């Protein structure tokens, strides 16, 4: 019975190490990205930012954060900084479909999640959750949070 105390202490230490390990921290941030985003930004704020980007970059392109300067919602930078964000302006093959901004985090191992932002008639290309007309979140890693 005396061995139970040190074993329990060792298990607790190992759990703490796992919890605070960078890989686990990154995965937790990634798995809770949408939930954490809802705490720092609203649908209208995302819509305003995304449509401003569409006005400045109307063609299919990848945009680097450094190109945007301060024109990026600063709270989003803190969501999962080790794996994003990346920003693309998407143009549909359908000439009648609106262009949209894709903001995403992820990797080949974790998958990807983020936001699709376009005009109010945009209904999402791979959307999972509607924030408002023209603003949708998505995840392709199967562990999204509502």
Q: What's the pLDDT band for 144 if we cut at 50, 70, 90?
A: very low
Q: How large is the average pLDDT for residues 120-134?
A: 88
In the Cβ-directed half-sphere of 109, how many Cα atoms lie within 13 Å? 5
pTM listed for this prediction: 0.77
Q: Round the CA-based radius of gyration of the chain to a whole number and report it.
A: 19
Q: How large is the average pLDDT for residues 62-66?
A: 87
Q: What's the pLDDT band for 132 if we cut at 50, 70, 90?
A: very high
The answer to whether the beta carbons of residues 33 and 80 sit under 8 Å apart is: yes
What pLDDT was estimated at residue 145?
Answer: 46
What pLDDT was estimated at residue 60?
Answer: 82
Measured torsion, CA atoms of residues 82, 88, 92, 93, in degrees rounded to the nearest 10: -100
């Amino acid at each position: 019975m005396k061995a139970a105390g040190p074993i329990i202490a060792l298990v607790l230490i190992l759990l703490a190490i796992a919890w605070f390990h960078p890989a686990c921290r990154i995965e937790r941030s990634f798995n809770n990205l949408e939930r954490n985003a809802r705490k720092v930004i609203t649908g209208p704020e995302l819509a305003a930012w995304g449509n401003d980007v569409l006005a400045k970059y109307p063609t299919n392109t990848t945009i680097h954060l450094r190109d945007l300067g301060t024109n990026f919602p600063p709270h989003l930078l803190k969501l999962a900084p080790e794996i994003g964000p990346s920003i693309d302006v998407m143009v549909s093959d359908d000439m009648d479909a609106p262009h949209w901004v894709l903001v995403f985090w992820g990797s080949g191992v974790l998958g990807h999640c983020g936001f699709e932002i376009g005009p109010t008639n945009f209904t999402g290309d791979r959307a999972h959750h509607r924030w408002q007309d023209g603003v949708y979140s998505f995840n392709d890693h199967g562990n999204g949070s509502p």
